[in-house]
Structure 1
Amino acid sequence: MEHSASEAQYLKMTGTPIPRLITSLAVPTIISMLITGIYNLADTYFVSLLHSDSATAAVGVVFSLMALIQAVGFTLGMGSGSLISRLLGRQQKEAADTVLSSGFTAAVLFGVLVTAMGLIFIDPLMAALGSSETILPYARSYAQYILFGAPIMAASFVLNNVLRAEGHATLSMAGITIGGILNIVLDPIFILREITLPFGIVLPGLNLGTAGAAIATLLSQCISFLILFSCFLTRKSILHLSVRNVARRGRQYWDIVCTGLPSFSRQGLAVIATVALNHAAMVYGDPAVAGMSVVGRVFMLIISALIGFGQGYQPVVGYNYGARRFDRVRESFFFSLKTASVMMGILAIIGWLTAPRVIGMFGSGQMQEIGTFAMRAQCVGLLFQTLGVLSNMTFQAVGKSWQATFLSSCRQGVYFLPLILILPRVAGLTGVEITQPLADVCTFVTCIPFLAAFFRELKAKSAEDGGPLPESV
């Protein structure tokens, strides 16, 4: 029965028309990514109701810690998922079972290490992440609960990515969506003193402040994990998670890490970039840190739609590359590029027009002024992001980890870090606000020669197999 399910999935991934296949996989992942972005933004929104720029800024500071946990979770998850897609494309299910079990075990062990070290060194850790003396008390109370959830968070990323990699995006969506909705519901209950409902109904809250936001996030992460884990316990997945399948040799883990390295580069550099941004903004006071933090959360929500689309696209590329259906690899890329570019263009226009109102939901005065300008600048950069995201996802999906790692490091590493050091010295606060969009433009230009070389290679491989690629899609 397992073999018939695996074969049916293989036929689906290599035979379904590309637009229908990518759309069917992308819609659930977009929904799950949007829910994740919304509940991250919800933390910031409900904390902002405490009317403290320092508390709002603390959420942005601790976000760097969450991004670090996500970096390793994504590394192991995307590395496992990419290997599994290609293994299933070659119909090697037992090897895929080993990758799943090994990636999951590594994520749990990493999370335990982060919890232990983070709680021991929590104050210096918060200071290193960009916390000022006024922000530190809020950041500490928020971070301690996030640290307790590190093993659950890292392991959930692996399970989520593996479900998508085998083509079960709907199951993945269910776990993330339910946990995210729960987080949004719990936030006001745990954070606020009073909760105002429609029709003038007022309910008491727990009044835990920033700590309440973290507790709500921790509980929702646990629920998401249990839902995702149950998919493997009840055999809704075609893969088998078992201690017996955990690899005993280091080579297996090396392959997972190398394949997932672009994700670590992307997420890890996001941590460094956020810390650098916090320190650059700190010169201009807590309102600047809070304003840039809010913009970061808003754009996490916007970009989550693009990442979600790309995550629906990625297993299609991996499956078909493993099955040597290079015509479908090319068609997948160009369909995704056209569709996602239109989607990001629409969101950029909406973001530009609504920037003052959106930032105003989280604060007013100087914070709103700083955030509005930064948001509009990033809306311009949004027009250039699609090519960068799809490029590094493509190279990661087909196993070209070094190309993917370099491209993924461009946006918030190769270009962002020098710019955030140089531009504020030249243009002051404006330099802080325009660093990210300039880095996006530079990344866009860098991707073009890499893609040209890749499609020449695909054409040559297809000719070797006796089926030349069409000149256009």
Structure 2
Amino acid sequence: MEATQDQDNKALDGPILSTFLKYLLPSIIGMLAMSSASIVDGIFIGNYVGVTALAAVNLIIPILSVLFGVGLMLSIGGSVRGGKYLGEKNTAAASGIFSKTLIAVIGYAIVIIVLGLVFESSLFGLLGATDELIPLMSDYYRVIMPFLLAQLVTIVLYFFVRLDGFPSLAATALVMGSVVNMVLDYLFIGVFGWGLSGAAWATGLSQLLPLLTLLTYFLSRKRKLRFSLRQKNWSEVFKAAYNGLSEFINEISGGIIAFIFNLMLIHRAGVDGVAAITVLNYLLMIGFMIYFSISDTAQVMLSQNFGAQNTQRLKQFLAITFSMTSLLSMFFIAILLLFNESLIYLFVDAEGADKTVAIAIEFVYYVWPIFIFAGANMTISGYLTAIHLPFQSGVVSLCRSLIFPASLLVLLYVMFDDTRFVLALPIGEVLTFALALGFFIRHQPQRAIDDENAKKSDATAKQRLA
């Protein structure tokens, strides 16, 4: 059975474009479903609860970013390691890292849920929440936290199920969750008037269906990955997590940047400014999620071909990835510049939100150049992760998501007395691109494979000497 499965591994021997699209399209559908759920939340909150509620949700983002960052680091790092094992036709090792990653994430989720609820007030204080926002934040936070267990387990299963050749199942799970979230948002917020707690219940309950859907993977006879509680060599989880460092950095840095933005905007523009940046985040989310889908799909292809040492296919998959991100960048820029006002009014009630809308439009004209470089930066970071260069990938991610934007935010905040410090985001992307391009040139496919073989030869020689 295993031999047949290995022969049918399209990532290693299937047509390049059709194989890439087979994985990419379900991934985009799944990621859009995931992001659309958040966007629909924002639409209902902004129109039925108000811009103050939007600001309250945005203040919670730093907490959730940190918590999800660890889950993503374990999940993506584990799946990349598993992909290399599958490329080497070592299904036993791939099953081992799958099992250990899933167990580790479950344990982590239980701990953070308990700690997060116990230290709620302290966390809100650190986020700079005002007396006006704290009750709204609590309404959302206390409901959403217990559901993190289902959300984090879903993340693990999503990445490994896709890795094992079931991209449609993974996408279907996310789509089903998104549809349920939309229906529950309408009922809980629009009909029942439950406010932010209704949004939290809708999001939390809608996460149970994707989890149940992904669990059907264990019923398939065609799957390569097997789950077992009895595992050894738990240090491998930490090694795999290190390989997912860039994704952790992206998530936790996003939370830190959101925290900095919120403090600056509360001081310069009040609650309307925080609500405006929340709307902008929703507008940027779809583009970034599609970039992430492309990068993530490339990782599935690249990690396995890196393990199989197939230089030509590595180059071909990279060419497709860069071409797609470039075309999409032009599309996103056009949409953002031509239809920004109409898009913003989706998230706020037309009456009484003129200041929020005006600030959000101003932000759009500051940040649209992000899309010129963000896709390429995410692709290169994903490539470096796929070829097991977590340090280089982490440096790119750290500079892109934290060092450059944070430094520039502080600098521009001091230089300008208005909201032009938002320009820190596109400038940071430009600087990151220069850094990422240097890493990519240094670690192109053939050289990366040669370096990997040299490491193996050194390790073998040391074992013989020992």
* Equivalent residue, structure 2, for 1:269: 253
Per the TM alignment, residue 380 of structure 1 is displaced from its structure 2 partner at its CA by 1.4
Per the TM alignment, residue 318 of structure 1 is displaced from its structure 2 partner at its CA by 0.6
Aligned counterpart in structure 1 of residue 33 of structure 2, from 32, 35, 38: 35
Taking the aligned partners of 2:68 and 2:325, their CA distance within structure 1 comes to: 24
Taking the aligned partners of 2:103 and 2:127, their CA distance within structure 1 comes to: 28
Whether the aligned pair in 2 keeps the contact of 1:420 and 1:431 (CA below 8 Å) is no
Give the letter for the 2:148 counterpart. A
Structure 1 unaligned spans of 5+: 193-204, 466-473
Whether the aligned pair in 2 keeps the contact of 1:69 and 1:154 (CA below 8 Å) is no
Aligned counterpart in structure 2 of residue 252 of structure 1, from 236, 240, 246: 236
Taking the aligned partners of 1:104 and 1:120, their CA distance within structure 2 comes to: 25
* Equivalent residue, structure 1, for 2:364: 375
* Equivalent residue, structure 1, for 2:21: 23
Taking the aligned partners of 2:208 and 2:33, their CA distance within structure 1 comes to: 16
TM-score normalised by L of structure 1: 0.91
Give the letter for the 1:118 counterpart. G
* Equivalent residue, structure 2, for 1:48: 46
Aligned counterpart in structure 2 of residue 110 of structure 1, from 108, 111, 122: 108
Per the TM alignment, residue 249 of structure 1 is displaced from its structure 2 partner at its CA by 3.0
Taking the aligned partners of 2:218 and 2:129, their CA distance within structure 1 comes to: 40
Taking the aligned partners of 1:344 and 1:66, their CA distance within structure 2 comes to: 28
Structure 2 unaligned spans of 5+: 455-466
Q: How do residues 365-404 of structure 1 correspond to structure 2 at under 5 angstroms? A: 365-404=354-393
Taking the aligned partners of 1:138 and 1:361, their CA distance within structure 2 comes to: 21
Per the TM alignment, residue 70 of structure 1 is displaced from its structure 2 partner at its CA by 2.0
Q: Which moved more, 1:59-68 or 1:170-179?
A: 59-68
Per the TM alignment, residue 323 of structure 1 is displaced from its structure 2 partner at its CA by 0.3
Taking the aligned partners of 2:421 and 2:38, their CA distance within structure 1 comes to: 23
Whether the aligned pair in 1 keeps the contact of 2:169 and 2:214 (CA below 8 Å) is yes
Q: How do residues 206-245 of structure 1 correspond to structure 2 at under 5 angstroms? A: 206-235=192-221, 237-244=223-230
Q: Deviations over 1:331-378 (max 9, x none)?
A: 211221012111121111111111111112223311111111212322
Taking the aligned partners of 1:18 and 1:303, their CA distance within structure 2 comes to: 24
Q: How do residues 334-345 of structure 1 correspond to structure 2 at under 5 angstroms? A: 334-345=319-330
Aligned counterpart in structure 2 of residue 72 of structure 1, from 70, 73, 96: 70
Q: How do residues 85-100 of structure 1 correspond to structure 2 at under 5 angstroms? A: 85-100=83-98
Give the letter for the 1:276 counterpart. I
Taking the aligned partners of 2:64 and 2:40, their CA distance within structure 1 comes to: 15
* Equivalent residue, structure 2, for 1:141: 139
Whether the aligned pair in 2 keeps the contact of 1:281 and 1:429 (CA below 8 Å) is no
What is the DSSP-based 3-state SS (H/G/I as helix, E as strand, rest coil) of the residue aligned with 1:163? helix
* Equivalent residue, structure 1, for 2:428: 439
What is the DSSP-based 3-state SS (H/G/I as helix, E as strand, rest coil) of the residue aligned with 1:384? helix
Taking the aligned partners of 2:445 and 2:312, their CA distance within structure 1 comes to: 12
* Equivalent residue, structure 1, for 2:153: 155
Q: Deviations over 1:420-455 (max 9, x none)?
A: 222122123333322211111111111111011011
Per the TM alignment, residue 458 of structure 1 is displaced from its structure 2 partner at its CA by 2.8
* Equivalent residue, structure 2, for 1:356: 341
Give the letter for the 1:123 counterpart. S
Query: Are residues 1:300 and 2:278 paired?
Result: no
Per the TM alignment, residue 230 of structure 1 is displaced from its structure 2 partner at its CA by 2.0
TM-score normalised by L of structure 2: 0.92
Whether the aligned pair in 2 keeps the contact of 1:295 and 1:374 (CA below 8 Å) is yes
Whether the aligned pair in 2 keeps the contact of 1:61 and 1:129 (CA below 8 Å) is yes
Per the TM alignment, residue 35 of structure 1 is displaced from its structure 2 partner at its CA by 0.9
Taking the aligned partners of 2:96 and 2:177, their CA distance within structure 1 comes to: 27
Whether the aligned pair in 2 keeps the contact of 1:47 and 1:213 (CA below 8 Å) is yes
* Equivalent residue, structure 1, for 2:457: none
Q: Deviations over 1:245-293 (max 9, x none)?
A: xx33332212221111111111111111111111111112000001001
Per the TM alignment, residue 456 of structure 1 is displaced from its structure 2 partner at its CA by 7.2
Per the TM alignment, residue 407 of structure 1 is displaced from its structure 2 partner at its CA by 0.7
* Equivalent residue, structure 1, for 2:450: 461
Whether the aligned pair in 2 keeps the contact of 1:55 and 1:210 (CA below 8 Å) is yes
Taking the aligned partners of 2:347 and 2:388, their CA distance within structure 1 comes to: 42
Query: Are residues 1:320 and 2:284 paired?
Result: no
Taking the aligned partners of 1:303 and 1:459, their CA distance within structure 2 comes to: 27
Sequence identity, in percent? Answer: 22
Q: Deviations over 1:94-117 (max 9, x none)?
A: 111110111011111111111101
Whether the aligned pair in 1 keeps the contact of 2:53 and 2:136 (CA below 8 Å) is yes
Taking the aligned partners of 1:398 and 1:271, their CA distance within structure 2 comes to: 27
What is the DSSP-based 3-state SS (H/G/I as helix, E as strand, rest coil) of the residue aligned with 2:48? coil
Whether the aligned pair in 2 keeps the contact of 1:306 and 1:344 (CA below 8 Å) is no
Give the letter for the 1:331 counterpart. Q
Whether the aligned pair in 2 keeps the contact of 1:281 and 1:432 (CA below 8 Å) is no
Give the letter for the 2:242 counterpart. C
* Equivalent residue, structure 2, for 1:200: none
Q: Which moved more, 1:28-37 or 1:15-24?
A: 15-24
Count of residues paired in the alignment = 449
Give the letter for the 1:370 counterpart. I
